Structure 1
């Protein structure tokens, strides 16, 4: 069973040095786990007994296509109407605890590793039972859905544990991707996958492409090439990569390095 990172909040002691790995640059941003403290959380309208860490939102010089949040729901908390924008699709990935997702009238008990794609316009709610003893935490990625004539994305629920990772060609299984939707399905205009590197695994070239990325490190550690910098990252860190930001990595071990990856896909570039 994988161990997915979830923040605990709190504050460092007054004796702690403020030196950390946080960096904001034109081509990328790194938000390390050490800054996910109580004082940077935000309440969410329509949610009870819930707090969130907002990792990315569309602002000038940062993310342009998506928002990404860490949401922590205490026992008895949740929302009957989580998504206020009808044209917005979403993905929920549970990293700790358990929640009940009610999606288009059907209940889905989700625990760590649970994954739900929430199509734009779907009717859903989410609760953490008052009978539970711990808070539940999940990643919530949101994007304005771009319709395509003849195609329609539909909601589904699955688990990381039930989807077989696909090894990248020629990598001897050291680099694999857990794909929750078919890459060739044009109904989907975003992919939220899990990428896994075994110790010593690498992206052996500087990827430079139009897709924007949000990467949340679920477990392990690596050194990541971001534009012209090498940056150490570990479980709990978040990276935002602008379109065309060169990127590569080396997995550091001793265990697997895994991250939840967002990218925008399958649409023509709008010019008018």
Structure 2
């Protein structure tokens, strides 16, 4: 059953370090993976976006040669009274919103929803939507965007809104609950071409082999700490860090404790490997 204990989600607040702080951090950018640690998510690396008011964004991933190919991921910070009536500039873009702090008013095709921490919304391409912060404190949420891959004979999935607290995690076989996944979409529903899930580890839980697969990943650590094995290198990560993993990058992890280790995970799914690149 879903827990009644509200989870902790890390969200950046910006700021600027003092001149006395050591310059070197854990930031890494390679051809196989990248690590953007929480310590570099400062005021001077935020972006303003057209038609968004009272808003700034930390852009964590974007389609780029040698970097993310299938998605973009932002952390949005919207001040009271801020938001957008024209949030998405690309007609074929689908999106997922996941709230980590504050309260967000989301309207999809005229239907109003209130999202609090743990709130999740899937927004298919072609729908009208807008967001507003009607509360008295900033709201911070992840916005993951992908160009939807249409398939003849498959319908576009419908929009929906839910909350992590309404979903029972699926335990991975043979792990006694040490490793589980909170799935917002049925993995057998091939209408969806991306999954955004929450992966949960109890202290000491592991991915016990180097996963090597076609899916590209974006991972934002919501809570806890771990060591990740990425392309034969061990990398320490903690709440607030973001990782990009290229398709086929070997990956495994060990949850370091003392509390749960949890991350928001993007991956592209349910489509053929396109050959257009080679035409």
Q: Do they superpose with TM above 0.5?
A: yes
| 1:169-184 equivalent positions in 2, closer than 5 A | 169-184=173-188
Question: Paired residue for 1:138?
Answer: 141
Gaps of 5+ in 1: none
Gaps of 5+ in 2: 1-5
Distance 1:4 1:218 in 2: 5
The CA RMSD measured in Å over matched residues stands at: 0.6
| 1:37-48 equivalent positions in 2, closer than 5 A | 37-48=42-53
Q: Does 1:30 align with 2:35?
A: yes
Normalised to the residue count of structure 2, the TM-score between the two structures is 0.96
Distance 1:40 1:116 in 2: 26
Write the deviation string for residues 57-80 of structure 1: whole angstroms up to 9, x where unpaired.
Answer: 001100000000000000000000
Normalised to the residue count of structure 1, the TM-score between the two structures is 0.98
Q: Does the residue aligned with 1:236 lie in a helix, a strand or coil? A: coil
Q: Does the residue aligned with 2:257 lie in a helix, a strand or coil? A: coil
Question: Paired residue for 2:170?
Answer: 166
State the shift of 1:122 in Å. Answer: 1.2
Aligned length, in residue pairs: 270
| 1:1-272 equivalent positions in 2, closer than 5 A | 1-129=6-134, 132-151=135-154, 152-272=156-276
Write the deviation string for residues 6-28 of structure 1: whole angstroms up to 9, x where unpaired.
Answer: 00100001111112100001100
State the shift of 1:196 in Å. Answer: 0.2
